Amino acid sequence: MLVVRLPASSEAVEPPQAPEAAPKRLNGRRTFSRSSTVGSEACKALSPPPVLERSKLAYEVPTPSALPSYARESDDSERDLGLLYKSLWEARRIAVVCGAGVSVSPPANIPDFRSATGLFARLKERFPNAGLTSGKDLFDARLFQSETSTALFYAMMAEFKDMADAAQPTLFHHWLKRLDMDGRLQRVYTQNIDGLEAKAGLTLGVGSPEALASRTKRKRAGRAWQRSQSDSAALPTAHEAPYPQPQPLFPRAIPLHGGLSTLSCMLCAHTQSLDTERDAGAREALDTLRRGDPVWCARCETADELRTSAGLRSRGIGRMKLNVVLYHGENDTAEHVGACVERDLLGLHDPHEPEVCPIERAMPTLPVVAEGQDDVGDLSMSSGDVQADDALASAFEEEKPVLCTPVVDKPRRRRPMPPDLLIVAGTSLKVPGTKRIVREFSKACHARDAGKKQAPVRVVYMNYDFPSAASEWAGVFDLWIQGDVQRAALGLCAPWPHRPHADPAMEAFVAQHSWQALSVPRPPPASTLRLVSRKLSTAPRRAGKPRAPARRTPPLGPAPGLPYSIMFAVRSMFRAGSRAAVPFRTFATSSSRLANTLLFVEHKKGAINPATLSALTAAQKLGGEIHALVAGSPSEAKSVAEAAAKVSGITKVLVSSSDAFSAQLAEPIAPLIQSLVDSQSYTHVVAGHTAVGRDVMPRAAVLLDSAQVSDIISVEGEDTFVRPIYAGNALATVKSSDKVKVITVRGTAFDAASAEGGSASTEDVDAGEAPTPTKFVEEKVSESSRPDLATASRVVSGGRALKSAEGFAKYIEPLADKLNAAVGASRAAVDAGYADNALQVGQTGKIVAPELYMAIGISGAIQHLAGMKDSKTIVAINKDPEAPIFQVADLGLVADLYEAVPEMTEKL
C-alpha cells in the first residue's frame, strides 16, 4: 500500500454559500435547484449549542500516525497520484464508504465521535455527574434502563438535530453528487446521521427489498402499455407519464446507522416525520425531546382511547424513538442494507434513474480527438446515450421544458457490473459491519485484476489516521491519502471534464482551485487524450469517423479472487417471432457465497461457554458471514440455539439435535462438521481452545485433510495467525495453505462478543448416524459456590509451599472468599494432592487472564507462567526473593505466607 501525505494547511477548504434559488419548473413539477440552500429562516436562526460546536483545535492537522508494516510512503507523489487519476477516469462503478470525517469541515461543522475533541469526550465533560465512563454510553441501547440517561439522550439528539438542520454539504458531498450526475456513482454507504447527502442532491434511505418482487409486474405493465399504442401515436408530453415507471429499489446513499429524519414507535412501529420546516407536529416533538421528555405515539393514544371506550383492556402507549442505530441495539434496516450490499457486489443494475431520464442512466461522455481533427469531438457510447445525454443536459437549463425520452421498444439487457473503484473516506473503521462492507467491496474490486502483473488502483483510503489494528487491513487498500478529506475531494474533482454543476458559484469555485495542499500537476489536457474501452491512451489513431469503443466482456467461468462464487455463462433466449437466438449474459450464484466461517458453539446446561464468544470475535476478523453450529441433545439444543441467535455477529444458527451430542463428544460431532463444510463450502472452522475444542477440532481437521492451527492469540489475515510456542516464551506466525482452516482460539486473547443485539436465523441440520465406539457414562463435577476459574475476575492460587490440603483450606480459601475470587493451584500442588485437578493453572491446565491474580507460595515455573502471564495485575507472595514469579509480578511481597496471608485476610 502506498501512502501520499497532504501537507498541513491552516486554511479550511469551504465551498461558497449560494443564496436560495428561486423555484422553477422541472418536468411539470415545482422544485428547487439541487444546490440551493436547504432550510427555512427558522432553521437558519437555530444556532448550534456550544457543547456540540467543533473546536478550532479539531481543524489542526493531527500528528501523522505511524505507517503499517506493509505500507510504504510514496517516493513520487506525481506518479502515484497519476495512477489514481487514471483509475478515477476509467471507473464506471464507484462505491464510496464514508464516516464522520467528511462532515467535520465547514460549512457542515458536524462533530465527530472518537477524537479528543469529538462528541464522546465533550458529552463526558458536559455531564460530569451523570456517571458516564465515556460519551459512548449515551449511544448505548442500555441507556433506556435509566430515566436520567434517557433524558440526556433525548436532549442531546435534539441538539444534534438542530445542528444537522443548520449544516450545509461539504466539498466531498458535492463531489459525490458530481459523480452521480456523471452516472458513475454506484452507491454511497454513509455512517453519518446528519443527512447531508440528501442536501447535496443524492437520494438517501434504505429502500425496500420488497420492491424486487413487484418489479416484474411493473415491467409487464409497461410493455403492455407500449403494445397498446400505435406506431403513429404522438410522443407523451412532459406532464404525462409514458408508462408505469419502476420505483427505485435502493437510493443512491445508504445510511448504515440510521438518521434523524423520522421517529418510530417502539410499540406499534408507527413512524412520524421530523421535517421541522413543513410539519408543526415535528417541531413540537423536537421541543419535547429538547426538554428531555419522551414523545408518545399518537396512533397508540388513539387506539388506546378507542379500546377503552369499547370496554377493552388497554395495551399501553408506545414511546417514539429516533431511528438511530445504537450500540448493543437492533438495526431494523440491517436486512435492507444487506440486500443492497449483495446486489452492488454482484453488479446488478437498479431501475433508479434521474427524473429527467426515464430510460437507463446516461454514461459520461469523455472528449476524444481522432487523428486529423482540430477540435474535440463527442464520442458517445451508443445512439441511445445521445438521447439520454440531451435529456440530462437540458434538465439544468433555465426555464426550458423537458420532454420525456421516447420509449425504447426493445430495451437493451445490461450485463452485471461489479464495482471497479472503492473510496473509503473519513472513517476510523471501528464498527464491525462497516469493516465487513469495506473488505467485501475490496475483494470485488481487486477480483477484476486477478492474474494481472500491473493492477490499477482499486481501493483508496482518505483520512488523517490509519485504522487501529492495522494488520487486519493488509491487502485491502492500494493507496492511502493522508490528509484533509475535503482537500482530497477538491483535488480529485477539479481536473476532470464533467457535466455542469447546478450551482454556478460551486462551479466557479472548483474551477479556480487545484489540489491546494500538494504541488501535483494536472493530468494532460483533454485534447491530448483518446478513449479506448474507457481507458487512457496516447497511441495514434487512423483518421476517419470515430467509432464507439468496444465493450469489455466479463470472463467466462468463475473469476479468481471474487468474494463469492459468481459463474458467468452465455445462454440463448428465443423471443417470440424471432428466428435467431439472441445471446445475453446471465449469472448464477451459489447459496453459500457469504458463508465463510463455521463457529462451533460449546455449551453446558443450556448456557454458551464464554470461550465461544471470544472465538466469535476472532472469527469476525476473518471477514464474511459467520454461521454457528449448535449440536446438543433435543432438550438443550433449542434453548442454546435461541441464545446463539441473539449473539451479535452471527448471521445463521445451524441446529443439530441428537442424544449422541448430549455430552459433546468428539466422535459424533467431527463428522457433522465435515458434512457441513463439504455441503456449504466454509473456508474456516473456529472453536474455543477449551477441553471440548481441543478434542473436537483435531478430529475434524483430520477428516477435512487440514492441519489444525491451535491456540491462536491474533488474526493477521484470512490465512495467517499468531500462536504462542515454547510455553509462551515465543510467538509464531503461522500461514495455512489448506483449503479449510481449522482453528482454536485462546479465550483470554480476544474480548467476548456481545451476547445481545443479534437476530440470526435458525436452520435445522440432519444429525446423521456416525458410528462411535465411545459411550458417555457419567460426569463427576465438584460443586463450588466460588466463581468459575476460567472466567473469574479475581484468582487466588497456591503452590506446593502450602504443604498440605489443609493448608489450602486454612490460608487460600478464606482469602479467596474475602475477595470473591476463584481458587487456583500450581501443577506441583495438584500433583502432590493438595488441590483438585480442575483448579490447575498453567500450560497443561487452565489459561486465565483475570483482573487480579495472586500467586501465593508459587515459585513461577515456566509452565505456570504460560497460564497466567496475561493477567492484568499479578501479586506474588514468596519468601525467596529470587523466585521467577517476581519477574512477571506487578506487586511482590517477600515474606512468609503463614504470617502474611492471615494478616491480609484479617485486614480485608
All three cell numbers of 586, joined, read: 446471465
Buried b / exposed e over 606-635, threshold 16 CB at 10 Å, is eebbbbbbbbbbbbbbbbbbbbbbbbbbee
Residues 6+ apart with CB under 8 A from 234: none
Distance CA 4, CA 480 (A): 6
Distance CA 172, CA 859 (A): 61
Taking each continuous run of H as one helix and of E as one strand, the counts in the chain are 23, 38
All three cell numbers of 21, joined, read: 434559488
Cα-trace Rg, the chain: 32
Ligand-binding site membership of 340 (annotated):
no
Distance CA 808, CA 436 (A): 50
| HEC assignment per residue over 648-716 | CCCCEEEEEECHHHCCCCHHHHHHHHHHHHHHHCCCEEEEECCHHHHHHHHHHHHHCCCCCEEEECEEC
Distance CA 497, CA 478 (A): 25
CB atoms within 10 A of CB 220: 11
Contact 848, 790 (CB under 8 A): yes
Sheet containing strand 566-573, edge to edge, reads: 557-558, 566-573, 582-589
Please return the burial class of 32, using the count of CB atoms within 10 Å of its CB with bins 0-12, 13-18 and 19+. middle
Distance CA 461, CA 424 (A): 5
Contact 370, 543 (CB under 8 A): yes
Contact 669, 696 (CB under 8 A): yes
Helix (H, G, I), strand (E, B) or coil at 811: helix
Ligand-binding site membership of 493 (annotated):
no
Ligand-binding site membership of 357 (annotated):
yes
All three cell numbers of 300, joined, read: 397508540
Active site residue 689: no
Contact 595, 620 (CB under 8 A): no
Residue of 173, 174, 239, 257 with catalytic role: 257
Distance CA 178, CA 96 (A): 13
Binding site membership for Zn(2+): which residues?
265, 268, 300, 357
Active site residues: 257
